[in-house]
Amino acid sequence: MFVDQAKIYVRGGDGGDGCLAFRREKHVPRGGPSGGDGGKGGDVYLITSPHLNTLLPLRYQQQYRAGRGGHGSGNRRHGKDGEDVYVEVPVGTQVRDEANGELLGDLNSPGQTLLVARGGIGGRGNARFATPTNQAPRRVEPGRPGEERTLLLELKVLADVGLVGFPNAGKSTLIAAISAARPKVGDYPFTTLSPQLGVVTYNDYKTFVVADIPGLIEGAHKGSGLGDQFLRHVERCRLLVHLVDVSSIGPDDPVRAFEAVNEELRLYDEELSRKPQLLVATKMDAVDPNRLRRLQEHCEEREIELYEISAVTGQGISRFKNDLAVRLEALKEEDEVESGNSGRNIRSDT
């Protein structure tokens, strides 16, 4: 089961109490206060694991508490620090505080950690309060409580390319044709109920990741067809591949279908509508000439390049895959140049 949202409660460990003690030993002329400090409470961390691809485990265990710090003891002995707790989450998890909606972290690399609940500090024992004028203090401090909060976790799939389009547009068939992924394929809408990832190999050794996003319908940005749950997974993609079914069983007006999906992307997030796209006419093995001509005319008017493919027969797949890889490499180079320029600007300011 693919779960991309979860809510958990985390609490740092309480600090240990300081100790009230006095040293009284035979043949020890200088006694006095000897109470040690309490130990610090443990912290709660989130840590990304490359072995997880869903938040499902957090649906079963929703509360995480770090260890309490040990109390101080006589002879100035410090209490033991509480044990930290590490909660594993998938790469691509965003973390928010439920109380105020604040974004606490965006965990997008393996092994990345995020402190989400700090443990309380230990209280001071009476040995800390001894002064020349107060050589037998009876003052101690209790340990402070650890932080606690409820977290909202949201998983956004990390992929280079996102496949979008109406239900049954051929996205699952395409990802199966260009990668080793084997998603469920059927001749009915909403065959795909959760994002599927596939790794595409090109030039013998280079790879990129493609995400098959479940089909979108009009009103998806409002939640129709669970669209708002699916759209978040294309936010991180560098490039979108927009699939339009031009077969005899596809939408009557492929141009309207194309514009409708783009409008849903815009209404959900303006940034999505500005992402680079490749437009693909699918199911050319069962093409309706009138529907294909309508889409071709629209692309000529808008100067949009149209790829015509059939994932079943292999028509146009090789050219599309090569052009997709070239376009993606160009986008990666642009990102590297922009990040390099940003880094130089930051260094010059400092």
pLDDT at residue 157, as a whole number: 74
Q: Whole-angstrom Cα distance, residue 222 to residue 220? A: 5
267 part of a folded domain? yes
Give me the torsion for CA of 243, 246, 250, 254, rounded to 10°. Answer: 70
User: Are 178 and 74 within one domain?
Assistant: no
350 part of a folded domain? no
Angle between helices 254-268 and 289-302 (to 10 degrees): 50
Q: Please count the structural domains in the chain.
A: 2
Q: Extract the residue ranges of the chain whose pLDDT is less than 50.
A: 1, 188-190, 192, 220-221, 224-225, 342-350
User: Are 214 and 141 within one domain?
Assistant: no
For the domain that residue 13 is a member of, what is the CATH number?
2.70.210.12
pLDDT at residue 92, as a whole number: 86
**Residue listed under structure tokens 């958990």:** 8
Domain-terminating residue out of 155, 186, 206: 155
Q: What is the DSSP string of 10-32?
A: EEPPPPPPP---EE--TT-S--E
Pick from 315, 216, 324: nearest CA to 277? 324
Pick from 240, 322, 250: nearest CA to 285? 250
pLDDT at residue 229, as a whole number: 61
Q: Whole-angstrom Cα distance, residue 59 to residue 55? A: 7
pLDDT at residue 160, as a whole number: 87
Q: Which domain holds residue 69?
A: 5-155
Q: pLDDT digit string (tens) for 44-88?
A: 999 999 888 788 889 889 999 999 999 999 989 999 999 999 999
297 part of a folded domain? yes
Domain-terminating residue out of 136, 155, 174: 155
Pick from 198, 216, 219: nearest CA to 208? 198
268 part of a folded domain? yes
How far is Cα of residue 266 from the mean position of the Cα atoms in its chain? 21
For the domain that residue 251 is a member of, what is the CATH number?
3.40.50.300
CB 164 within 8 A of CB 244: no
